[in-house]
Structure 1
């Protein structure tokens, strides 16, 4: 009895190949360079196969149509970019972006728009730009991936040198009281001085804060003396001039000027980038956020999602037990001058005699705006306090940062929090005892 063949659906029937065809295919696909391709049958043609004309498919000519702007030389394109300060120009095409991607262009862009150097020789801000346009340009620069804290810190020596040249040049002063008036030609001398004294100017105190070193010399004529403070670690430069009436031992101060990189030059329209408003919270991100806040950068709570990102960032800061990020995100004291966590000794006060009859100068400290005290502006709610206490075990520095915000919305009669305090105090938890004294001192 013959068997009924079964046909499988979807499987195509492959025709049988001849031995010659199999050998031909094997030869063409073979990776062996010695394999020879068999001759084809040319019995129907009087012309040998080697003499047949080759009719290859025509190649399509694909040429890129570049605009006239893309064809400009790099030097001319940089001049146009610095004239208009349009951050969208490098993003217009890969060709333009490649020509404007040098470190020199980025450095000049940051120093010209974000550092407050308003000298004609250093500033790249055109006279026709408005405050709103400047704020948009600054916001776009801060959003760039290459705009990081290490990149900014590499610009600190350049910022200090150019700041000194700008301030000394405006006042027609000499460097160290000798030589010609300070100008752009003086930059190598000042830079060499900073390099030779880098260990003094790049110093950290025992509290972990950057130390502030002074340089002083006498200038002939007015002003009588110049005192300058330099901080290579945080990019702070302070100038003060003084005169000394030796007859009555009275010292007067003519001016005090403070310059800090990314400090107070940012337009009121400059926005804090979202990359600085969320975790994971590292020391680098916290420091960069504080620098942006110090420079008057703000969060657009209405026309952007930055506020929501900052809210999530506060929750992440509490989860990570990061008090520094918590302080930076909260609504702090305000934008007015506040005492800093550590005062900066700039110059001596009026000298006074001690018991031995020697004249001793009392250290005089100035107060500058504390970046941590200002903050992004989030008002802590009950959910933040409950998360820090009930879920995270009440890390004291984080809870203290929440409680010391300029404005809060807490309910200290929360039964869960009071129950947690009572239970933890029974187990000898010092943080629970501290929290009870804080929320209910009676």
Structure 2
């Protein structure tokens, strides 16, 4: 019997295969696994958003501000989109670096709990103390959560040098206005009762600024670290740490200006709780090798606390011999000064 020639029906198999692939792709995009060849369609529950992400943006931003949890946007992309607002960032800067009446006080002066009883932000200290205790304001603030909050804000990626300069300008304007209001306000010379006592006590503890705030001249700055008392409006509390991002190499001028400013404001390096110290050592070797005197001078500051090692000076001499056209004399001079300070400390 002769063999029959097979008849091929064109288009039928292709349509079935395309329909199967479309159905399979649709099923794979859904959450629950299922048999792609099953003809029964299963009911799938809709995705339920977490309660925090489902809140309105205005309410979520209020929670973000009052909780002072600067890491909240890192929880999810949806939260990051809702909380990425420049006004919120500026609010956090004021809340961290320029908040409360204690920024008008002298942190190095000694106060009593009774003196601070009428200052709102310090009232809890007086109420919690049994006796009239003398203490330094800086020592008390260092024991609170404020330094850690300042450190968290400094770590944020959105806190760039340009944004920090914008904050410093607004903080200066606010501090300047407070100073002018204090100079024009009249003291209470007569009267009795609680209002007179409260006003007299607030004037007697020297909570007014005695030095007029001065703006920072960023363009003419020579990167020399100085500590001026009139920069109280940009003061960082003890135990506020320099973020690791300021030690990333290669260095940029904005990065060096940011590093110098936070050092002058009182920040230090956390050698035990972060990798900032190790990054600072790597950055120092890089600045010596590339012949960057400004970065070398900053990294040798006592606030960073890099232990002195003779290999830094040896590296500078090697680079000077290898590249005679580049001036390494300032770097060698800074390293010698650092060596002398280290020897004096060890005596």
TM-score, length of structure 2 as denominator length: 0.61
- Could you say if the C-alpha distance between residues 23 and 280 of structure 1 is closer, same or farther in structure 2, counting changes exceeding 3 Å? same
- Tell me whether 1:259 sits opposite 2:231 in the alignment: yes
Structure 2 counterpart of 1:378:
306
Choose from 124, 148, 160 the match for 1:148.
Answer: 160
Q: Distance in 2 between matches of 1:292 and 1:113?
A: 13
- Could you say if the C-alpha distance between residues 271 and 130 of structure 1 is closer, same or farther in structure 2, counting changes exceeding 3 Å? closer
Ranges in structure 2 where 5+ consecutive residues have no aligned partner: 19-38, 103-119, 125-140, 187-210, 222-227, 322-326
Using the TM superposition, give the Cα deviation of residue 24 of structure 1 relative to its aligned residue in structure 2, in angstroms.
3.1
Deviations 1:231-288 (A, max 9, x none): 4647x9xxxxxxxxxxxxxxxxxxx971366x32x22121111111231111111111
Is the contact made by 1:83 and 1:126 (CA closer than 8 Å) also made in structure 2? no
Q: Distance in 1 between matches of 2:6 and 2:331?
A: 82
Is the contact made by 1:327 and 1:401 (CA closer than 8 Å) also made in structure 2? yes
Structure 2 counterpart of 1:118:
100
- Tell me whether 1:329 sits opposite 2:299 in the alignment: yes
Structure 2 counterpart of 1:355:
none
Is the contact made by 2:269 and 2:277 (CA closer than 8 Å) also made in structure 1? yes
Greater Rg over alpha carbons, structure: 1
Structure 1 counterpart of 2:64:
81
Which structure is higher in strand share? 1
Choose from 149, 157, 174 the match for 1:162.
Answer: 174
Query: What is the Cα-based RMSD across aligned positions, in Å?
Result: 3.7
Structure 2 counterpart of 1:407:
341
- Tell me whether 1:24 sits opposite 2:8 in the alignment: no
Q: Distance in 1 between matches of 2:66 and 2:121?
A: 6
Ranges in structure 1 where 5+ consecutive residues have no aligned partner: 1-16, 31-54, 175-225, 237-255, 333-374, 410-442
Structure 1 counterpart of 2:83:
100
Q: Distance in 1 between matches of 2:184 and 2:121?
A: 26
- Could you say if the C-alpha distance between residues 285 and 260 of structure 1 is closer, same or farther in structure 2, counting changes exceeding 3 Å? farther
Is the contact made by 2:299 and 2:306 (CA closer than 8 Å) also made in structure 1? yes
Q: Distance in 1 between matches of 2:7 and 2:279?
A: 70
Q: Distance in 2 between matches of 1:24 and 1:327?
A: 79
Q: Distance in 2 between matches of 1:126 and 1:227?
A: 23
Structure 2 counterpart of 1:134:
146
TM-score, length of structure 1 as denominator length: 0.49
1 or 2 for the larger relative contact order (CA 8 Å, sep ≥6)? 2
Which structure is higher in helix share? 2
Q: Distance in 1 between matches of 2:60 and 2:301?
A: 43
Is the contact made by 2:277 and 2:304 (CA closer than 8 Å) also made in structure 1? no
Choose from 239, 256, 261 the match for 1:269.
Answer: 239
